[in-house]
Amino acid sequence: MIRDLQYPDDARKVLDALITGLEYDAAFAILGNSLKTLASPSGQPDFGTGIRFGGGKVDHTVRREAPGLCSRFSLISMVSRFESFTESLLLQRRVLEELKTEGVKMSGKKMWEILRSVQRDIRRLSPSQVTLQLLVENPSGELSARVDWLVGINRVRNCLAHRLGIVQMEDVRKPGQSLENVQANDRLRVKWLRIKPLVDGQEIKSFPYQGKGDGKGEMKVEVKFEEYEREWKIGDIIHITPEDCQSIAMSLSLLGTQVLTEFENEMNSFLQKHNTTGTV
């Protein structure tokens, strides 16, 4: 039995779930730093795993590469969470648009039709297309600019998930461009928002940090946000760090908040036009 949709409360719960999931993934990326420092089992049997594929010769390599491995999983998971976020909001939009009359209940058959249509659109379009074409039909310039982060991050996700992070022609080609037209100098370019901490105008690049101040024990501490750009050429290997994952989580969180704001604006106008409340 499907309970009634409570709008806008249910829409806001979707954003809360996204942010909670992003926090989890960002924390998982940091876990890789701790795993890197674990002592090697030194040939001792691991009775927690009775049967192993291969020997323990790769244990040291796995520990050394743990920050990158955990970061790879973290980024892949974060994009998947954002896809789930857009899917849930799109489902709510379709339900609200279908039930224009207050008090009317949706039949099970119609609900399945809507679920199928949402699933088809999610599979047919990229997360950015779903956001700008279906979820928010009249996006602001600010939202369109922030969706650019998602476009690049999703391309990195696909490369990490399907090509072990080795950039290929598929990763650098532009939307609508055929592989035959990809050039050797084409690049996979991405950007996301990152925090830039400054002390007396100088960026802090390692922590913990101890500043000297101005001789009176005072330091000017600032925190700025900036768009951070990266690019890779064909054949490059994408390396994502735990620090990158913190910035990506923050960027997707801000994007999700902007999406919900503009989603609510459009749905509020729709409901007011049809004199409908948010309970359906």
Interstrand relation of 202-203 and 221-233 (parallel, antiparallel or unpaired): unpaired
State pLDDT tens for residues 189-212.
999 998 776 677 666 666 666 666
Assess if residue 176 is contained within a domain.
no
Assess if residue 87 is contained within a domain.
yes
**pTM attached to this predicted model:** 0.87
Assess if residue 180 is contained within a domain.
no
State pLDDT tens for residues 140-178.
999 999 999 999 999 999 999 999 999 999 999 988 889
Mean pLDDT of 241-246: 94
Looking at the 3D structure of the chain, how many domains does it have? 1
3-state helix, strand, coil in the chain (%, to 5): 55, 10, 35
What is the domain extent for residue 149?
9-37+58-165+241-273
Q: Do 62 and 69 contact (CB within 8 A), yes or no?
A: yes
Assess if residue 190 is contained within a domain.
no
SS3 248: helix
Name the token pair of 35: 């795993």
Assess if residue 117 is contained within a domain.
yes
